Amino acid sequence: MPERVIGLGEVGAHLPSDPWVLVFGVSREGNRRARRATRAALHWNMAVLWFDGFGERWEGGRTGRVDLDFPVPDGSVVVVDYSDDEKRHWLNRMVEKVPASLIGPIERAEGIGEPSEGRVRTLTSIRRSLQRALAALQKMVVRRIAQIFRGIVSWRLVRDDVELLSSSAPPPRMIIYGDDFALTQGWWAARIWTEIPTAMEVN
Partner 1 sequence: MSKPHLLYIAFFFPPSRASGVYRALATVKAFDNAGWDVTVITADERFFEDEIGSVDRSLVDLIPESVEVERVPFSFRSEAEVRDLRDVGWFKGNFPLLSSGVRRRLGSFTVALDVMRGRSALSFPMDDRYLSWIDPVVAKAKAIRRRKAFDHVLATGNPYSAFEAARLIAGIHGRPFTVDYRDPWAFDMRIGSLAKLSAPTFAAEARIIDQAYACIQVNDAIASAYANLYPEKAHKQHIVMNGYDEASIPDVVGPHNGPLTFGMLGTVTDLWPLGALFEAWHSRRKSLPPGSLLRLGGHLGYFPWSADPLLATFPDQSAGFEYVGPVPKTDVAGFYAGLDVVLVPLFGGPMVTAGKVLEVAALGTPIVCIQGRDGGARHFFEKHPLAIGVDPDPDAVGAALLEAATLARTTTVEERVSVRQSMAEYERQTAMNELVSIVAQAPELQANTVA
Site residues, partner 1 (CB under 8 A): 147-148, 150-152, 175, 177, 180-181, 183-184, 186-188, 190-191, 194, 197-201, 203
Radius of gyration of the chain (CA): 22
**Residue placing its CB nearer to partner 1 in the complex, 65 or 159:** 159
**Residue placing its CB nearer to partner 1 in the complex, 167 or 203:** 203
Q: Of 182, 156, 148, nearest to 51 (Cα)?
A: 182
Q: Minimal distance in Å, beta carbon 125 to partner 1?
A: 36
**Residue placing its CB nearer to partner 1 in the complex, 50 or 188:** 188
Q: Minimal distance in Å, beta carbon 10 to partner 1?
A: 26
Q: Minimal distance in Å, beta carbon 150 to partner 1?
A: 8
Spatial contact of 89 and 106, defined as CB atoms under 8 Å apart? no
**Residue placing its CB nearer to partner 1 in the complex, 40 or 200:** 200
Contacts of 4 (CB under 8 A, 6+ apart): 14, 62, 63, 64, 65, 66, 78, 79
Strand ranges across the sheet with 20-25 = 4-6, 77-81, 47-52, 20-25, 174-177, 198-199
Q: Minimal distance in Å, beta carbon 198 to partner 1?
A: 4
